[in-house]
Amino acid sequence: TRQNKKSISKNGFSFGLLPVVAYNSDIGFQYGLVVNLFNFGDGSLYPDYKYSVYTEVSRTTRGGGINQVFFDSKHMLPHEIRITADVSYLTELALDFYGFNGYDAVYHPQLEDDEDPNYRSRMYYRYARDFLRVTADLQGKLPVKNLHWLAGIGYFNLIVSSVDIEKLNKGRDVQDILPDTALLYDQYIDWGIIDENEKEGGIIPSAKLGLVYDTRDNEPSPNKGVWSEALLFYVPEIAGSKYSYVKLAITHRQYLPVIKKKLILAYRMGYQGTIAGDAPFFMQNYIISSFAKVTTTDGLGGAKTLRGLLRNRIVADGISYGNIELRWKFFETILWKQNLYLALNAFTDAGMALQKIDTDKRLGLEPWEQEFYFDPGAETLHVSAGGGLRIGLNDNFIVAFDYGKAFDERDGNDGFYAGIGYLF
């Protein structure tokens, strides 16, 4: 790739450090560190690298945590076979849960507002999850230029339960105590919507096969090109798994230069759905991709799918989504022998449920409860918009800040996100 005259070629090792600092009144302070190491070798590959290692370790003061190591290399295996591997252990004391099928599940913000007379719990739309994820994917070239095969395996072990209210209440002032009451997750179990063999999680061994077409000039921050993929995600009933299903994930991304290397129009369109078998509820929000560097792969809704929407607002058997961004790199310089740039982005995100999870097996609900919790047929397109800032180091390590606003109050209000990299 020809270098911009305002940048320098990098060789050897480079790394980015990002402190993790966040706060949530129910989970507490989140603190930790992200380290992204790059080995550029002799510099001839720049802005590509021989290999990259991404590590994140963070904790919350009330027991949640992220532990992740992600490895990526196109140049260590023979025949230019790319390997990406991920080992993550993610603990969530309060993961968002708003029911199934988007707007078909009615969201009542007053139920989690402790100043509202209808308040139940700030944890009402939450459940707990411990998630062990181990994946390894290989990509190799095919005779067609820029077309690659992909084959991968994965092992997931998920333990889910209701929120541990007693643990969260430790050390709280009396006025901040969370009530011990049934949460939406508990009710979905009682109503028979979440099956008994799914309510505590389970083991998910997986195989992934697909095709990837990639013409991007720089993966972390493309100036031009296409990145498309079609993947099959197969879960067999082996190795302790009680489930068997196949999902199809199709994603198309394109990067259009409006002003060369300065102003880029980027968009992404995706579909993911079950084509055979029955996926357990706790895997319905897992977003399938050829490049699993993203720490939290939940959706739709939230930092990595539909910014500004409640996280996991749309959970269904099949989903579609789209994002369009205008990215403006407005400042570039060399600082302490490092290539540095600043960029702004404006975006619109949208998505909806296409294949719905069966919720008709509701048990023991009064007519008013049917109307209060469910609105069959209400699902339509969810939309948000917003903007953000990127700080790029050596074209690979990118610190990201985004703010998104939901267009419909049924999706919540807004969201602010700090993390690593562009959305796509």
The class (CATH top level) of 14-420 is mainly beta
Which residues, 6 or more positions from 131, have their beta carbon under 8 angstroms from its beta carbon? 88, 89, 90, 91, 92, 156, 157, 158
**Is the pLDDT reported for residue 218 higher than 50?**
yes
Residue extents of the structural domains in the chain:
14-420
Q: What is the mean pLDDT of the chain?
A: 92
pLDDT tens-digit profile of 113-129? Answer: 999 999 999 999 999 99
What Å distances lie between residue 341 and 229, 270, 325, 409, CA to CA?
A: 29, 29, 18, 36
- The model's pTM is 0.92
Q: Tell me the average pLDDT across 74-101.
A: 94
Q: Give per-residue pLDDT as tens, 145-177.
A: 999 999 999 999 999 999 999 999 988 888 889
As a whole number, mean pLDDT of residues 204-217 equals 98
Q: Which of 201, 160, 197, 165 is nearest to 182 (CA)?
A: 165
Enter the tokens of residue 77.
């295996």
Q: Which residue has the tokens 């699993």?
A: 292
Range in 57-66, 73-82, 325-334, 344-353 with the lowest mean pLDDT: 57-66
Convert the pLDDT of each residue in 194-203 to its tens digit.
999 999 999 9
Distance between CA atoms of residues 393 and 399, nearest Å: 8
Task: Tell me the backbone φ, ψ of residue 92, rounded to 5 degrees.
Answer: -130, 115
